[in-house]
Structure 1
Amino acid sequence: MLTTTGAKKKIGGLTALLAVTLSLTACGSNNSSGDSKELTKVSQVTNWFAEPEHGGQYAALSKGFYEEAGLDMTIQSGGPGVSSTQIVAGGKAEFGMGQADEILLARQNGIPLVAIAATFQKNPQGIMFHKGQYKDITELNGNKIFVGSGVVFWEYLKKAYSLDKVTEMKYTGSLANFVADPTAATQIYVTSEPFSMQQEGVDVDYFLNYDLGYKQYGNILYTTEDYMKKHPDVVKAYVEASIKGWDYYKTNSEEINKVMQEKNPDLKLEAMAFGAKAQEPLVYGGDAEANGVGYMSKDIWSGLQDQLIDMGLLKDAEPIDDVFTNEFLPGK
């Protein structure tokens, strides 16, 4: 099974997909006093430890947006070996975060997830190289790239750009071998690894996979078909509060980064500041400029599905309207 890993994250995240029985929690109800409404207990699992890519979620939590929406929210951090798809499908969390291709591949594997918002209009996965080394990705032929085994976007790039003469080296999360080889390239998240190189005095540049034609949304918020149908009011409350959090994070990232650092003290505030700035056009640009954060296009989803079918990763196309919905976004 192929994975959607980029840079430091989620290697092998899709290899462990299992068909599971859905067991989802019920909504809260009014308490006996009639003076207030009980908060509905829900949780969401992210795709890594707390970082700027989750800024809107933590903003919504710390500023009380989830509570205002009637939700008693818990955020579970992802990390190595954590499969958010399994956790959500098994009912241990109502909401999850992942990549767009993960949603399509999960559905093929019997896990009926539905995307309910895209916090990134452009996925932040990319290919980093030493500055000035490459002007076109086809120039990677004859050189090394550090990449995870079976990474989906790399399978697409190999086929689309005839990268049959690239030497694939195992990606371990360390950039030491990349730094030592001025002709090498490596998979990254553009919100993270370039900062590490900046700190080490290594000049780099990168290709964004989205701009190379692998157009998938990043950090999709999702739930299961069953939960969405049974609790549309909770899903609506969750999405609207999350988007409110992202709108807040845009101009208050320094405040929320401090909140996230309490959850992930290994990530320095300087790195978070870099990530927040780097991801700004990816979150708030594109279709989000006219339609707001979270918006998803049928064309993007259909195009991604076609690419996965062309690569042999999906067997058949399914009605794309079953895969995602914008109906829970603010104003819908």
Structure 2
Amino acid sequence: MATKMTANKRSVKKMMALSLCAVLMTGMLAACSGKTAAPETASSGEKTGTASAEPKLEKSTLVLNWFAEPEHGGNFAAVQQGFYKDAGLDMTLTPGGPQVSSTQIVASGKADFGIANGDDILVARQEGIPIVAIAASFQKSPQVLIYHKEAGIQDFSNLNGHAVYVAPTASFWLYMKSKYELDQVKELKYTGSLVNFVNDPNALTQGYITSEPYTLEKQGVNVGTLLIADSGYNLYANVYFTTEKMIKEHPDKVKAFVEATVKGWDYYKSHAEEINPAIHEQNPDMDLDMMKYSAEKEMDLVFSGDAAEQGVGTMTKERWEEVQKQLIEVGVLKEAEPVANVFTTEFLPAK
């Protein structure tokens, strides 16, 4: 930011020179009289001494796992309410997208923190990317399979004989096909478009409980959802991570980030409509009504389960080991590594 210059620069210099002369004269007179000049007393309403400088904030960046949305509400609340600043961080939230890899960006050192799903972190570590989960904003993934209510779908075991728009290599789908013996499903590539799903009342599509159902209901399509977490594939979603190096060299910074983020989520829980306009500024394609819907749908996924007692962000060894085992069974992971290397809860606020 450009520094502003005053118009009366010469006058200021002249006044400073006169003041200096006055000070010198006062000292000389005091020396001649054998007396020490009395210190100036502060006038009414003025503080004595030098005002303490503002603490310097440390720049930091968080790479989101998608464009700004209520799934990042806790982070926007922490920015908006000054929780990151209070923790000594000048935090920048960088949007993700289909071509953005948060794991690669953080691993390269271009950002301190990122967001990814638990299975993505396990796969990244297998590929030699030394990242570590430090908090989970979602205890359950918001990912769902969406179906037309007239199709009569009751459970994951009912999918045989139906067309499913899904990413064929998605870990949850590989697990689901194996567990429920889905060998008679017509797999169709998921592209993000809902047109073909809408036109086929017998079809299902992958999506998120926080977004697609809202869009479909607005179009008058009567849909139901199956939460992926209820299939048995219950990973942590929207997991905050950093590098092993950051944890080793800057643990205080990691702790400051985690604690401020948890504080942000606690605030967003009761003040979502206050924070959503800030999210809308970064993602104007998502209107405020949809953001309200998304925030309402995600609350149980963020604050339920272990988070109900242990607080937002908590994770357990058992949950990580379970997902790791499932990924090995479907061939996504080759071998298990100690999950103590994969995640840590040491930076979460004590409960």
TM-score computed with the length of structure 1 as normaliser? 0.89
Q: How far is the alpha carbon of 1:36 from its aligned partner?
A: 4.3
Equivalent in the alignment of 2:334: 315
Equivalent in the alignment of 1:224: 243
1:96 paired with 2:120, answer no
Equivalent in the alignment of 2:93: 75
2: distance between equivalents of 1:119 and 1:190? 16
Equivalent in the alignment of 2:33: none
- Name the SS of the counterpart of 1:158 in structure 2: helix
- The count of residues paired between Structure 1 and Structure 2 equals 300
1:165 paired with 2:214, answer no
Question: Partner amino acid for 1:98?
Answer: A
- Name the SS of the counterpart of 1:154 in structure 2: helix
Question: Partner amino acid for 2:68?
Answer: A
1:265 paired with 2:284, answer yes
Question: Partner amino acid for 2:191?
Answer: T
Equivalent in the alignment of 2:132: 114
Structure 1, unmatched stretches of 5+, are: 1-32
2: distance between equivalents of 1:72 and 1:256? 18
Alignment of 1:169-188 (within 5 A): 169-188=188-207
Question: Partner amino acid for 2:87?
Answer: A
2: distance between equivalents of 1:74 and 1:230? 21
2: distance between equivalents of 1:136 and 1:279? 21
Question: Partner amino acid for 1:61?
Answer: V
Equivalent in the alignment of 2:142: 124
1: distance between equivalents of 2:325 and 2:113? 26
| 1:112-166 Cα deviation digits (max 9, x unpaired) | 1100000000011111101142012122111100012311111111111111110
When structure 1 is superposed on structure 2, of 230-239 and 194-203 the one drifting more is 194-203
1:144 paired with 2:163, answer yes
- Name the SS of the counterpart of 1:259 in structure 2: helix
Question: Partner amino acid for 2:100?
Answer: V
Equivalent in the alignment of 1:50: 68
CA RMSD of aligned residues (A): 1.2
| 1:191-229 Cα deviation digits (max 9, x unpaired) | 111101110111111111111100101100000111111
Question: Partner amino acid for 1:234?
Answer: K
Question: Partner amino acid for 1:97?
Answer: I
2: distance between equivalents of 1:303 and 1:151? 17
Question: Partner amino acid for 2:174?
Answer: E
* Structure holding more helix per residue: 2
Equivalent in the alignment of 1:6: none
2: distance between equivalents of 1:212 and 1:143? 17
2: distance between equivalents of 1:148 and 1:300? 24
- Name the SS of the counterpart of 1:163 in structure 2: coil
Equivalent in the alignment of 1:28: none
Equivalent in the alignment of 2:18: none
2: distance between equivalents of 1:123 and 1:296? 14
Q: Which structure has the greater CA radius of gyration?
A: 2
- Name the SS of the counterpart of 2:337 in structure 1: coil
- Name the SS of the counterpart of 1:173 in structure 2: coil
Equivalent in the alignment of 2:48: none
Q: How far is the alpha carbon of 1:34 from its aligned partner?
A: 7.6
- Name the SS of the counterpart of 1:159 in structure 2: helix
Alignment of 1:8-23 (within 5 A): none
Structure 2, unmatched stretches of 5+, are: 1-50
Alignment of 1:251-290 (within 5 A): 251-290=270-309
Question: Partner amino acid for 1:137?
Answer: F
Identical aligned residues as a percent: 54
Alignment of 1:22-61 (within 5 A): 35-61=53-79
2: distance between equivalents of 1:180 and 1:140? 18
Q: How far is the alpha carbon of 1:102 from its aligned partner?
A: 0.4
1:192 paired with 2:236, answer no
Equivalent in the alignment of 2:223: 204
| 1:80-120 Cα deviation digits (max 9, x unpaired) | 21000110000010000010000000000000110000000
2: distance between equivalents of 1:316 and 1:149? 22
The correspondence for 2:318, drawn from 299, 317, 324, is 299
1: distance between equivalents of 2:159 and 2:141? 21
TM-score computed with the length of structure 2 as normaliser? 0.84
When structure 1 is superposed on structure 2, of 153-162 and 133-142 the one drifting more is 133-142
